[in-house]
Amino acid sequence: MRRTRTRALVTSLAATALVLSACGGDDGSEGEGGADPQATSAGSTLASTWPLTGLPVKGDDSATQDHPVLVLKMDNTSSSAPQVGLGSADLVVEELVEGGMTRLAAFFYSKIPSDAGPVRSMRASDIGIVSPVDAAMVTSGAAPITIKRINGAGIEFFGEGAKGFYRASGRSAPYNLFTDMTATATLTKGGDRPADYLAWGEAADLPKGKPASRLAASFGGSHTTTWAFRDGGYVNEGTYAAEGDEFPADSVLVLRVEVGDAGYRDPAGNPVPETKLEGTGEAMLFHDGRVVRGTWSKKSLDAPIELSTKQGELKVPAGRTWIELVPREAGTVTVSR
């Protein structure tokens, strides 16, 4: 799937700042009026749910917004505390970056927060993460080689120098870059409702699985994310989010992924890893204090994530989901009953 809407051009000022900051059927059997009743029903179902959560659209809201999905790259180290805006995200993907640390790709669509950050740079790994929903990225920038690849993938992005971005007082660079996302969202236009990020289903239809009240996802370096099931949801016990602004995870989805070399080093000399979010691998879906094991597959970088068990398709219960992209070789996932 390639981007169908025109990709906005980044101004030369913003582009310079980005680089610097990187440091129905053909049988004629149509129903009356020419519409396929089955297709119309399916379209109505999609229009009544949010693409990043599968939750119903309420009131006068619309599943088609006047902006695309926006994915903000957020720092995920102690220097980022307190992170702002995570509580408004529909979905979050945690990915490995250099030095064994992780960075967050926070997806916003049904709700756009005002302030969000700290905003950090893109990686080539993000191509496979954001492309399935034609998302636009909110970023501090990227290395030139990454910007070239992001451009080649047709991904729209906005960075420092663009509307909404500012440096917060009382914080040290590079952890002081924030944006008013309501302002940044006006720089781009929405189109059709995005595709569902995952296949959404009902909790009652989820395979039974096994008890799992805790999990620890280690990325093979100095970072481990630990989750505990409490009061019907999952709590990130090491979160850097501001109090009251934590991401309320209904499910945690762990995908074991291949990690390669992005082909360059960061300013500290660390090799930059690249998560390969295509192919197949082991999947672990945590919901309601239990874990269901299966397999994930992704035919290409811009294809959707598909989940399955030996019994068939595995659907994620509608709700807000945190996805852990844990390295297959160096990472580990520890599960406790």
* pTM score: 0.88
Burial class (CB in 10 A: 0-12, 13-18, 19+), 36: middle
Is there a contact between 59 and 187 (Cβ–Cβ < 8 Å)? Answer: no
Number of continuous H segments (helices) and E segments (strands) in the chain: 5, 22
Token code pair at residue 225? 């994310």
Is there a contact between 259 and 276 (Cβ–Cβ < 8 Å)? Answer: yes
Distances, alpha carbon 191 to alpha carbons 47, 68, 280, in Å: 13, 7, 30
Looking at residue 63, the DSSP 8-state letter turns out to be: S
Measure the CA angle with vertex 92, ends 101 and 162; round to 5°: 85
Calpha distance 153→169 (Å, rounded): 35
Is there a contact between 142 and 153 (Cβ–Cβ < 8 Å)? Answer: no
Q: Got the DSSP string for 15-35?
A: HHHHHHHH---SSS---GGG-
Distance from the Cα of residue 238 to its chain's centroid:
19
- 290 phi/psi in degrees, rounded to 5: -135, 160
Token code pair at residue 201? 């289903």
**Could you list the pLDDT tens digit for every one of the 337 residues in the chain?**
434 333 333 333 344 444 434 443 333 333 334 444 444 445 555 679 999 999 999 877 788 999 999 999 999 999 999 999 999 999 999 999 988 999 999 999 999 999 999 999 999 999 999 999 999 999 999 999 999 999 999 999 999 999 999 999 999 999 999 999 999 999 999 889 999 999 999 999 999 999 999 999 999 878 999 999 999 999 999 999 999 999 999 999 999 999 999 888 887 788 899 999 999 999 999 999 999 999 999 999 999 999 999 999 999 999 999 999 999 999 999 999 9
The identity of residue 59, as a single letter, is G
Q: Which domains are assigned to the chain?
A: 12-22+62-187 (3.50.90.10), 200-336 (3.50.90.10)
Question: What residues pair up with 298 in beta bridges, in sequence order?
Answer: 279
